[in-house]
Structure 1
Amino acid sequence: MTAPAPSHRFGVYIGRFQPPHTAHLRVMVEALENVGTLVVVIGSAHAPRTLKNPWTAGERQEVIGAMLREAGVDPARVRFAAVPDHPYDEDRWLAAVRAGVAAHTGEDGDVALIGHLKDDSSYYLRSFPDWPFLPTAVVSPLSATDVRRAYFAGELESVAGMVPPAVHAWLEAFRGTPEFAELEADAAWLRAAQAEAGTWPPLRVEALAAVRDPAGRVLLTRRDERPGRGLLALPGSEVLPSETLAAAARRAAAGALGVTPDDPALTLSPTPATVYDAPGRSPRGRVIAHVFGFEWTGATGAKEWTSPRDALAHPEAYFEDTHALLEQALSPAGPR
């Protein structure tokens, strides 16, 4: 008996796959019954390793390929596109997805979007009106968040029931890497912070400083605490009860520069601060950030001054959403 012809030449399945689990595999296998070639769009590419994004796009492509081969899927029918997050620029993210898909489909417009409208996190399925929507019949309570939580808590038996065998074998091997050790330590920090807080997430307000020198370079700091130890960040501080947001940002900038907050070479930009309050922007709790611009005309010394081009070249080197904040702070139009 001849298999029915696919309803579309290409299908697009968008996800973060951190990590891919059994329901993801079922959706992909089902999609390939309806499309000729499946383009798997791997989100959160070029992001730093965090408990939310532990694995690189390349690693996720590798493990997705392994689970599909294990399931008997012809690798020639699957393509991959890695797309970075643009959390404060939706149009740019949509354009990146389209560009990633077009790299495989070319001028062919016979493209369908595969997915399941389960909650607010599936909003993007309505953002490509020219791609017919193919709802999946796979409905599962599985969540990659639950997989990650169990994995970094050492509950490998639970993980084995959530992911295909090829994924479980890959995750077991990853446990032997230095990257896992860092993430495991961050997970222990998070569990301790949650226990200490009593209620979670705590509300935190922080002030960040985007400091520029006369050459246009930006001042960065490197975190020496968890989570995100070793990653780059903007100078910042939680706001003390006795100070304004601007004063907290000035204090953080001065500390990074090694001067006092009243140093006349440090001046506050007249542009109002930009507020970033996405509820899930930080694993440290409900953290609301206010980014202030400053100019520094004093000696630059041996601080971590970076040109805008270099600062934006390596998103994976930054803490949380710092790279996205820098994209806006360093844009010609200024923060939005």
Structure 2
Amino acid sequence: MTADLSPTPAPQLSPTRRAFGVYIGRFEPPHLAHQAVMREALEQVDTLILVIGSARAARTTKNPFTAQEREALIRAMLTEAGVDPARLRFVAVRDHLYDEGRWLAEVRSGVQAHTGGSADVALIGHIKDGSSYYLRSFPDWDFLPTHVISGLSATAVRRALFERRLHDLGGMVPPAVEAFLREFYPSADSAALRAEYEHLLACQAALDPARTPPIAVTAHAAVTRAGRVLLLRRGVHPGQGNLALPGRELLPDETLVACAARAAQLDTGLDVREFMGADATSTGLHAAWLAGQVFDAPDRSPRGRVVAHAFPFNLGSGPLPDLRPGGDAAQALWLPVPEALGSPELFFEDHHAILEELLARA
């Protein structure tokens, strides 16, 4: 695929040069269209601040590269194109699927750390669909529309990488990025991602195309005791090796909170009812139900449309019960809460965000 990156006819941009420009993206990985937008922006601003999203997350087929890797790639491809790297600044922000205000605050504070309080800031982008909503979320920053229009997407680049079509990369990414991808390809991380990609393709192929893709409903348990949280390490794809909360799909004859309790027992060998007293099926589970939350970001899972319900079970203090992993769990463990909250890059899908939300409410 060769991208057409020639600017389309458009009104002339204001001749006023800005002190700072902000370009927000995931850049998974950065490609020729990204490079063209950045070079166009640098013709209109003195300093370009690149906000790299989906930072500090486990590698997935959607987000295969770390924020540090993406920053290095952007620096390399722009330097290769003759850009002075002193004109670049970087901000890495995490995804906050269930707290948009927190995401906006992280972007704003990261940018302000580079602008020194200057109000001479412009936001660069192209409003193409609902995914561009964030371009309207910073009303105090002037908007500079890009004139670079291209059908190229990072999704196509990732597919070429996972489908072993390295010969297609040259028409989609700058030379510095292609060199990195070819070096990354034989790595253990790349092999794990290819295996996960093939697993997801097999799951999609198993769906009946004549039917609407099913919506799965799952329930998860966030069990805490003595300052630790109960987690499992996944032993299967997707997310093999990542930490996750115990969870199961809802059965026709059970409540959501009962499903979460069942998941904890099947995945880790821990029966939370034993710690709730004789009324475990009424008052104890009802308290957990009252504190539960729904997590329904449409793209929260690469497996398809999965709506998750999660419930906190606080088992108080005392000795930590022995665990026995089961199901998809390769390991069950008690992790100190601060360590779990401080390690979003170790978690499966949005389970870290779920844990953050539940513990914040608790």
Q: Report the TM-score when normalising by structure 2.
A: 0.86
1:100 corresponds to: 110
Tell me the CA shift for residue 257 of structure 1: 4.2
- Matched-pair contact (CA < 8 Å) for 1:221–1:235: yes
Report if aligned partners of 1:206, 1:288 keep a CA contact under 8 Å in 2: yes
Give 1:36's aligned residue: 46
The amino acid that maps onto 2:220 is L
Structure 2: how far apart are the matches of 1:93 and 1:295? 28
Partner of 1:290: 309
1:57 is aligned to 2:67: yes
Aligned-pair RMSD on alpha carbons?
Answer: 1.9
Matched-pair contact (CA < 8 Å) for 1:217–1:307: yes
CA apart distance, 1:259: 4.3
| Correspondence for 1:112 | 122
Matched residues, number = 329
Q: What amino acid maps onto 1:245 in structure 2?
A: L
Asked whether the equivalents of residues 272 and 313 of structure 2 are also in contact (C-alpha less than 8 Å), the reply is no
**One-letter identity of the residue aligned with 1:171:** L
Residue 172 (structure 2) pairs with residue 162 (structure 1) = yes
Match of 1:322 in 2: 351
Choose from 215, 222, 234 the match for 1:210: 222
Q: CA deviation at 1:160?
A: 2.2
Question: Counterpart in 1 of 2:258?
Answer: 247
**Following the alignment from structure 2 to structure 1, what is the Cα–Cα distance between the partners of residues 268 and 349?**
22
How far is the alpha carbon of 1:280 from its aligned partner? 0.4
**Residue number in structure 2 paired with 1:148:** 158
Alignment match, 1:281 = 300
Aligned letter for 2:133? Y
For 2:148, the aligned partner's letter is V
TM-aligned CA deviation for residue 201 of structure 1: 4.5
Equivalent-residue separation in structure 2 for 1:198 and 1:156 (angstroms): 31
What does residue range 234-273 of structure 1 map to in structure 2 within 5 Å? 234-260=245-271, 263-265=274-276, 267-268=284-285, 269-273=288-292
Asked if 1 retains the 8 angstrom alpha-carbon contact of 2:261 and 2:271, the reply is: no
Cα deviations by residue, 1:186-222 (Å, 9 ceiling, x for unpaired): 0110111111123484321111011122x24221111
Q: Could you tell me whether the CA contact under 8 Å between 2:17 and 2:44 is conserved in 1? A: yes
Gap regions ≥5 residues in structure 1 = none
Q: Map Cα deviations across residues 30-75 of structure 1 (whole Å, 9 max, x no partner).
A: 0000000100111111011001110000000111111101111111
SS in 2 for 1:301: coil
For the residues of structure 2 that align with 1:172 and 1:159, how far apart are their CA atoms? 9
- Compared CA separation, residues 198 and 166, structure 1 to 2 (3 A): farther
The Cα of 1:290 is off from its aligned counterpart by: 0.5
| 1:187 counterpart residue number | 197
Q: Which amino acid aligns with 2:216?
A: R
2: CA distance, partners of 1:137 / 1:161: 20
The correspondence for 2:101, drawn from 91, 98, 105, is: 91
Aligned residue among 2, 6, 14 for 2:24: 14
Identity %: 57
Question: Secondary structure of 2:200's partner?
Answer: helix
Q: What residue number does 1:301 align with?
A: 321
Distance 1:262 1:107 in 2: 53
1:278-303 Cα offsets, whole Å, 9 max, x none, are: 11000011011000122336852344
Change (3 A) 1:320 1:301: same
CA distance in 2, matches of 1:11, 1:19: 21
